[in-house]
Chains A and B, each alone.
Chain A
Amino acid sequence: MSGGIARRAAIAGIGATEFSKQSGRSEWSLAAECVTAALDDAGLRADEVDGIVLFTMESTPEIALARALGIPQLTFFSRIPHGGGAACAPLQQAALAIAAGVAEVVVVYRAFNERSGHRFGAGPPAFAYNPTIDQEYRNWINPYGLLAPAQQEAMFARRYMWDYGVTSEDFGRVAVAQRDFASTNPKAWFFERPITLDDHQASPMIADPLRLLDCCQESDGGQAIVVVSRERARDLRQRPVVIAAAAQGIGDQQISMSSYSRPDIVAMPEVDLVAKQLWAQAGVGPADLDAAILYDAFSPMVLLQLEEYGFCGRGEAAAFVADGHIGRGGSLPVNTHGGQLGEAYIHGVNGIAEAVRLVRGTSANQPGVVDRVLVTGGTAVPHSGAVLEADR
């Protein structure tokens, strides 16, 4: 592909606050701290930032962050909707802005009190009560009891079980592999607390077939990423982690969290759409990836993404996981930080940071040399993904 954004930009810095269940401070404070940490990591000053890209769900807008950190001039700012599905889309925005010369130092952050403030798992957020077309999809699910993400995604998981003979134990093997990684990651909620398949099977049912240990954390914390041009990154403090590809996708007849009217509700066309763009941009395929960070709001979605991204065939992910491919020592380590099941739920942006550490060789669970890693945003909502790689 000529032109485009492939390998034009690089991640130069990552920074996070502590991940907790009660930060005891404002989301604005979390945002300011994680951005400062990411700039320090890169060796950049706040007054060098000229772009900020956020989720629409972020409560601290770029204007407030700029004021708090004394960023004097912003020339590029944008926001991406659809929550965790957006996770990698800000990288695409940053790469576009840098490739176009609109900005030189673009900061992405996600900072929230998702556990001590509004818990997504508790039910619809405040904006669900706005009578807009954006929220109209709720008409067809919320009045019947599908109020929270686990309940909405359970419908996909059940159909996946019926179609392919997948079991709760198959979901459990994902949950166990990720808590294993979390158990040796000091930043993880499950640090020093590995789980067994028996623990998984004994954990309470939340929305059948999803058990408690199939569900991601609810967390307070902030995570920031700093993106610059590949050339500029080479002059900064860290080895560049190149954005080889970044893409977004909305698939045919998609409905937020509830694309239940497609003939096959197990398939995720928006994920396939992102995968095809990533492989085309980067000129690589699934066999060229050394590790993957797959958005894991719920463990079945790891299985479905393994299939949709082509790491295995349709209906084969359970066997792929049972064979040990995604765990410690596997051929495709997945969510080496413990994922959102095991580390923290920072809307997927903590997964981007782990992808950066893997390429730098600094993950708490570094599986040897990682030249290239896939990182993805949430599923069931509009999707995003990126391929990050070493600067070679």
Chain B
Amino acid sequence: MSAESGTRVPPVIITEDNAFFFEAAAERRLEIQQCAECGRLRHPPTPTCATCRSLEWGVVEASGRARLVSATVIHRPIDPAFEYPLVVGLAELEEGVRIVADMPGVPPESLRDGMPLRVDFATHAHGMLLPVLRDAGAES
């Protein structure tokens, strides 16, 4: 655990397979891995395509439009990296893959199956800029 901040969030583990995601997020872009052979998108990242086994891949930038698949509202235990109650969502991007991200400012009582979301970026533990999920319906 980090001696500086007291957070229990482990530092992310950067590999040759996933570095693109964090580099893009630092520039407020959500990038998703795409198989260079068969074109399938995949997330979380892997070194190979589980469909065609190709080692070749590129990335596509996601639109940021998504829908809620599941969510939790965390009350305890608390970690200094977050404010509680902490809403965390599982979102399906319109491109078809899913991400987990926290949903700062989204009221727990507003959570519902399929609610429209928009991916934004905010500073997380260890100073990392990472995705957050906003309520796209509340914004429109």
Chain A residues within 8 Å of B, Cβ to Cβ: 121-124, 128-129, 131-133, 135-148, 151, 154-156, 158-159, 162, 204-210, 253, 255, 258, 260-261, 265
Contact = CB atoms under 8 A, between A and B. Distances in A.
A155 B50 contact: no
Contact of A135 (B13, B75, B79, B131): B13
Contact of A205 (B73, B124, B131): B73
B102 interface: yes
Contacts of B13: 131-133, 135-136, 138-139
B70 A204 contact: no
Interface of B: 1, 8-13, 15, 18, 43-44, 50, 69-77, 79, 81-82, 85-86, 88, 90, 97-102, 108, 113, 124-125, 128, 130-131
Given A136-B18, A140-B100, A265-B70, A204 B75 contact: yes
B75 A145 contact: no
A129 B13 CA distance: 9
A143 B124 CA distance: 7
21 contacts: A123-B79, A129-B1, A138-B13, A139-B13, A139-B18, A140-B43, A140-B44, A140-B99, A143-B128, A144-B100, A145-B81, A147-B79, A154-B72, A155-B72, A155-B90, A158-B70, A205-B73, A208-B74, A208-B75, A255-B44, A260-B98
A144 B130 contact: yes
A143 B12 contact: yes
Contacts of B75: 204-208
Contact of B10 (A121, A124, A255, A265): A124
The main secondary structure of chain B at its interface with chain A is: loop
Contacts of A147: 8-9, 77, 79
A159 B69 contact: yes
Contact of B9 (A142, A151, A258): A142
A4 to B, nearest CB: 30
Contacts of A143: 9, 12, 124-125, 128, 130
Contacts of B43: 140, 261
A128 B124 CA distance: 18
Given A124-B10, A158-B72, A139 B50 contact: no
Contact of B88 (A136, A137, A145): A145
B49 to A, nearest CB: 12
A206 B113 CA distance: 21
B125 to A, nearest CB: 6
Nearest to A138: B10
A164 to B, nearest CB: 12
**Which of A138, A147, A154 counts the most B-chain CB atoms under 10 A from its CB?**
A147
| Cβ-closest 6 pairs across A and B | A154-B72, A208-B73, A123-B8, A159-B70, A162-B113, A140-B44
